[in-house]
Amino acid sequence: GNSVTQMEGPVTLSEEAFLTINCTYTATGYPSLFWYVQYPGEGLQLLLKATKADDKGSNKGFEATYRKETTSFHLEKGSVQVSDSAVYFCALARNTGGFKTIFGAGTRLFVKA
């Protein structure tokens, strides 16, 4: 079946550090891949997406590349800020009769000043 595995948190970094959150997926066919972010007390916001192999999604300094050969979609940011503290969810979506989104468990990021 389809599934998403992402690195366990929490991840604690100092401001301006480099961020990587690993994500791998299992899916038949060619899913679209997403990163969603959930700030404390808020809902889910789409951070970035990629719809085919080798696509790079980017937004707000974050980026992730759809790697079909390694079934990965790792999230990176060159210099994190305190305001990036949130939970990050990797997700995939395929047409299964309704394009349901399958989420990873989430990785909590704490950024210290």
Answer for the pair 48, 56: CB distance below 8 angstroms, yes or no: no
**How many residues belong to the site for other proteins (CB under 8 A)?**
27
Question: What phi, psi does 83 have (nearest 5°)?
Answer: -70, -10
Residue 109 DSSP symbol: E
CB 38 to other proteins: min, Å? 9
- Using rule CB under 8 A, residue 103 touches other proteins: yes
Token pair of 37 as six digits? 């972010």
As a whole number of angstroms, the distance between CA 47 and CA 60 comes to 8
The span of 18-26, 27-35, 60-68, 71-79 binding other proteins (CB under 8 A) equals 27-35
CA distance linking residue 83 with residue 61, whole number of Å: 13
Please identify, using beta-carbon distances, which residue of 17 and 103 lies nearer to other proteins: 103
User: CB of residue 99 vs other proteins: minimum separation in angstroms?
Assistant: 5
Q: How far is the CB of 77 from other proteins (least distance, A)?
A: 21
Which of 14, 54, 61, 99 binds other proteins (CB under 8 A)? It is 99
Specify the residue, 17 or 71, whose C-beta has the smaller distance to other proteins: 71
Give CA–CA dist 13/18, Å, rounded.
Answer: 8
